[in-house]
């Protein structure tokens, strides 16, 4: 019985590794860049160099040895790259965040509505540890008056790579959002009382 050498599958493993690594880089891209910009640039550069190297070696191996496993590796490498290039990471991340954290956010909203919450002069309210992950910065911004309520949950608080993305709960008019949030690039109503706001 012939046992396949691990070296025979090195290109297949490399293609799978690159596909998964690129997916993770794109998924956490904004957060990584804004937190560890130089490290992120280094990692991305290494991945690109590794990708080109593996692509060249696979093509060379196919031309010389014509192994089916190398052809499969090439297909995975190309399809993986195209998938990661066109996959709507931002939309999927936002939809997942919105649906999975809805109940906890409603608990925070009810607390704000029914209590005399302590906020800073800018309306910033630090979230308890239990709800810390409901806003990427660990705090929310509250604008509360008798005729309206605007609460900002940060999905992504951009500093270097992109503008901030905010999930806004509103009881009032859409114009109340524009009164209290500056540099708005786009507002989209996604559900009753809920708006997705992207800043410039």
Kindly report, residue by residue over 125-155, the tens digit of the pLDDT: 999 999 999 998 899 999 988 889 999 999 9
pLDDT at residue 1, as a whole number? 41
pLDDT at residue 72, as a whole number? 96
pLDDT at residue 117, as a whole number? 78
Q: What is the 3-state secondary structure (H, E, C) of 121-174?
A: CCCEEECCHHHHHHCCCCEEEEEECCCCEEEEEEEECCCCCCCCEEEEEEECCH
Same-domain status, 113 and 65: no
Instruction: Give me the residues of the chain with pLDDT under 50, please.
Output: 1-4, 161
Q: 3-state class of 4 per DSSP?
A: coil
Rounded distance, CA 156 to CA 137, Å? 8
In a domain, 155, yes or no: yes
Same-domain status, 100 and 46: no
Same-domain status, 18 and 46: yes
Domain boundary among 44, 61, 87: 87
Question: In which domain, by residue range, is 74 found?
Answer: 6-87
**What's the Cα-to-Cα distance from 128 to each of 3, 24, 125, 178, 192, rounded to whole Å?**
57, 29, 9, 28, 26
In a domain, 1, yes or no: no
pLDDT at residue 2, as a whole number? 44
Same-domain status, 129 and 40: no
Q: In what order do the strands lie in the sheet with 149-156?
A: 124-126, 139-144, 149-156, 165-171, 194-199, 184-191
Domain count, the chain: 2
Same-domain status, 116 and 138: yes
Same-domain status, 44 and 113: no
Task: Tell me the HSE value of 185 on the side-chain side, using a 13 A CA sphere.
Answer: 8
Domain boundary among 87, 110, 140: 87
pLDDT at residue 162, as a whole number? 61
pLDDT at residue 121, as a whole number? 78
Helices 102-114 and 89-100 cross at an angle (nearest 10°) of 60
């Amino acid at each position: 019985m012939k046992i396949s050498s691990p070296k025979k599958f090195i290109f297949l493993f490399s293609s799978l590794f690159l596909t998964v690594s690129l997916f993770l880089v794109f998924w956490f891209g904004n957060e990584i860049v804004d937190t560890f910009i130089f490290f992120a640039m280094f990692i991305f550069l290494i991945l690109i160099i590794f990708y080109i190297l593996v692509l060249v070696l696979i093509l060379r191996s196919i031309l010389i040895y014509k192994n089916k496993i190398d052809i499969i590796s090439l297909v995975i490498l190309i399809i993986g790259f195209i998938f990661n290039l066109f996959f709507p990471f931002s939309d999927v991340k936002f939809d997942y965040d919105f649906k999975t954290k809805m109940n906890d956010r409603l608990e925070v909203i009810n607390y704000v509505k029914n209590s005399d919450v302590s906020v800073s002069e800018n309306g910033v309210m630090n979230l308890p540890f239990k709800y810390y992950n409901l806003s990427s910065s660990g705090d929310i911004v509250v604008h509360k008056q008798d005729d309206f309520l605007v609460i900002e949950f940060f999905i992504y608080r951009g500093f270097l790579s992109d503008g901030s993305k905010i999930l806004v709960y509103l009881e009032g008019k859409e114009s109340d959002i524009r009164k209290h949030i500056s540099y708005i690039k786009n507002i989209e109503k996604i559900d009753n009382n809920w708006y997705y706001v992207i800043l410039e």
